[in-house]
A = this chain, B = another copy of it.
Amino acid sequence: MSDKKVSRPCHHCKSRSASVPSDTSKIHYEKFWLYRHCSSVQQRDRQAQKAGQLFSGLLAMNVVFLGSAFISSMIFNKVAITLADVWILLSILKVLCLFWIIYYLMGTSRQPHAVLYRDSHAGAIWVRGSVLLFGSCSILLNVFQIGYSTVLVHCKSKVEIVFPIIGILFICTQAYFLWHHSKDCIQVQHNFTRCGLMVTIATNLLLWLLAVTNDTLHMEIESQLREVEQRFAGNETTLCTCPNTTICKVFQKGYILLYPFNTEYCLVCCSVLYVMWKNVGRRISHHHILNTKPKFKLQGVVFGPLLGTSAVIIGACVFMMYQIQATSLDPSRQVLVIYYSYYIVLLPLMSVGAVIGTIIHALEKKELDTLKNPTRSLDVVLLMGAALGQIGMSYFSIVALVATDPSDLLNSLALSYSVLLIFQNITQNVFVIDGLHRRHVVAAAEAKHAGHSGQDTVAAEMPGEEETTLSGKQEHSQTPPGKEEDTKEEQNREAYSQRRVSVLELGQEIRKASLSYIHTYSHLSWKRRVLREISFFLVLCNIILWVMPTFGAHPLFENGMERSFYGYSTWFVIVNFGLPLGVFYRMHSVGGLLEVYVTA
């Protein structure tokens, strides 16, 4: 790309030492040959940013299309393009990404003034934690794959040992990179970094696509053992079956069990990398940096955890019953009835919780946070996008069930399951999206507090009005704390402000006292408590709803109703694209709900 040259590091800046980020001389404004004649530096910078995003996006689009064509060719024409060809392409991409990541770690990020700002919203601990968790699972998966290939080395090509090794290297480096640099707003080599990030995103997307289409194997093993044997016979592994040794069976079983984590890992990495891509060249105002994240505290919630834990325990029992029955090749109707009944009880509870939460959000006099925040925008898009998978599947299921025989018990159960699932997804999305846009009370109080520190004496002498006007001047989008409570609790506040006046002479201690009071106080508000109960309950529910399909409960596939309606291959395609998205949706909801819980 011709723009790489323009974005090379500014060498004359190297001599300077890194100090305050607000120094404008350290900002590398972006340039682009297309936009040399803009009147202002800011405008040129913005346009260059857009152009850089366009070009790197085009690069990624081409890579993704090429890879998809490869993968589709492999699926539909097993002779001309084999799995090995796809692996070679992906390995080349992985090696390219590895080189770029290493260059980023060694070169780009160590340049002077490379990372002046860090996006506090990006790379939340739960996201980075899941990168590590899923990353380790994926590494284990690759280890099992190596072991499996080694056992069967007599009939498998040695290349099948090389690919997983490259995979392990890629996963480790990427996880390290994301753990340490996911918050970076890189200010040098903009376009090169964008291209690198986009190629990495494309690689992860292709790995996901391959995993989804290859998940075929796993699901078929579970549901249609006979057909698999036929397919295997037609495949390259004609005479290559696992000998009856324990180690080979362990490798095989571990491989099947760990497979879903690999798909999740790719999706999570994509979302983190995308936020990094959006943050390239972003300059964050001081206002943003101030807004620190609150910590997770398990305080003042009782019913949510109780209800949620019971849902998890019952769900685990149902899941185990289902798994024992489902693996016995001929799943009985009874276990499906139990499975659906569990969902039909749980889903309305979750929906009601989400609706109540949304209503409380509306009742609460909390300000909305309308600042720019790429992480949140992405969260919203991902929530809506991932929900589409589940909702789409449900609609397909509804049409099939209504068209066949809705009066049958199992059909009517499956029907209500699908309808409730749509309703639950939508209500939960509205609740989470709305919650993510509410400002955190304590953070707002702390921000106000920080604003005061310069005017200690003035603030101490005029406690009432001064507080509101000052904070109003400094940060117009924040609420004075007086607005946070409703009229019913007015007296409580008066007592608080009187007590504040009485401790006027304590000087430095006053701030600590008021802060701890706000803390205690906020725990007293019934609205906040209900919000926390609801979000905690939903977190636990989403965890169990995430675990069940991840580890192999796919009633939509195993009940056979939709399968016989749409035909095997069509329904297979629908489920194979809907299910991984549904699983990702649950995982992503957990993150969003945790954020709602913490900021409530």
* A37 proximity list for chain B (CB < 8 A): 364-367, 483
CB distance from A45 to the nearest CB of B (A): 12
Interface 9-mer from A271-279, A397-405, A407-415, A440-448:
A397-405
Q: Which 4 A-B pairs have the closest CB atoms?
A: A80-B403, A69-B399, A37-B365, A65-B395
With A66-B399, A370-B46, A399-B66 known as contacts, the answer to whether A76 contacts B34 (CB < 8 A) is no
* A392 proximity list for chain B (CB < 8 A): 65, 68-69
* A434 proximity list for chain B (CB < 8 A): 34
With A54-B433, A61-B388 known as contacts, the answer to whether A362 contacts B34 (CB < 8 A) is yes
Name the contact of A399 in the complex, choosing from B58, B81, B364, B567 (C-beta under 8 A).
B81
Chain A, residues 265-288, CB within 8 Å of chain B (1/0): the string is 000000000000000000000000
Is A469 interfacial (CB 8 A cutoff)?
no
Contact A36 B362 (CB under 8 A): yes
Q: List 18 A-B contacts (CB under 8 A).
A: A33-B362, A39-B367, A39-B479, A47-B437, A54-B433, A62-B422, A69-B398, A69-B399, A69-B400, A72-B396, A73-B403, A73-B565, A76-B566, A76-B567, A76-B570, A77-B403, A77-B566, A81-B403
CB distance from A80 to the nearest CB of B (A): 4
Residue among A47, A362, A391, A395 facing the most chain B CB atoms (10 A cut-off): A395
Is A554 interfacial (CB 8 A cutoff)?
no
CB distance from A434 to the nearest CB of B (A): 6
Is A426 interfacial (CB 8 A cutoff)?
yes
Residue count of chain A within 8 Å CB distance of chain B: 57
Residue among A395, A396, A399, A426 facing the most chain B CB atoms (10 A cut-off): A399
Is A496 interfacial (CB 8 A cutoff)?
no
CB distance from A246 to the nearest CB of B (A): 40
With A72-B396, A400-B73 known as contacts, the answer to whether A368 contacts B35 (CB < 8 A) is yes
CB distance from A424 to the nearest CB of B (A): 13
* A364 proximity list for chain B (CB < 8 A): 37
* A449 proximity list for chain B (CB < 8 A): none
CB distance from A563 to the nearest CB of B (A): 11
Is A358 interfacial (CB 8 A cutoff)?
yes
Give the interface SS of chain A, mostly helix, strand, loop or mixed.
Answer: helix
- How many chain copies does the complex carry? 2
Is A43 interfacial (CB 8 A cutoff)?
yes
Given contacts A46-B370, A77-B566, 15 further A-B contacts (CB under 8 A): A34-B362, A35-B362, A35-B368, A37-B364, A37-B366, A38-B368, A39-B367, A47-B437, A62-B391, A68-B392, A72-B396, A73-B399, A76-B565, A76-B567, A80-B565
Contact B80 A426 (CB under 8 A): no
Name the contact of A367 in the complex, choosing from B38, B61, B70 (C-beta under 8 A).
B38
CB contact list, A414-438 vs B, under 8 A: 422, 426, 430, 433-434, 437
* A54 proximity list for chain B (CB < 8 A): 430, 433
Query: Which A positions have Cβ atoms within 8 angstroms of B?
Result: 33-39, 43, 46-47, 54, 58, 61-62, 65-66, 68-70, 72-73, 76-77, 80-81, 358, 361-362, 364-368, 370, 388, 391-392, 395-396, 398-400, 403-404, 422, 426, 430, 433-434, 437, 477, 479, 483, 565-567, 570
* A367 proximity list for chain B (CB < 8 A): 37-39
CB distance from A214 to the nearest CB of B (A): 17
* A366 proximity list for chain B (CB < 8 A): 37
Please name the residue on chain B nearest to A67 by beta carbon. B395
* A479 proximity list for chain B (CB < 8 A): 39
* A72 proximity list for chain B (CB < 8 A): 396, 399, 566, 570
Please name the residue on chain B nearest to A32 by beta carbon. B362
CB distance from A38 to the nearest CB of B (A): 6
Q: A328 vs B208: C-alpha distance in the bound complex, in angstroms?
A: 45
Q: A113 vs B567: C-alpha distance in the bound complex, in angstroms?
A: 55
Please name the residue on chain B nearest to A85 by beta carbon. B403
CB distance from A542 to the nearest CB of B (A): 20
Q: A567 vs B72: C-alpha distance in the bound complex, in angstroms?
A: 11
* A73 proximity list for chain B (CB < 8 A): 396, 399-400, 403, 565-566
* A388 proximity list for chain B (CB < 8 A): 61
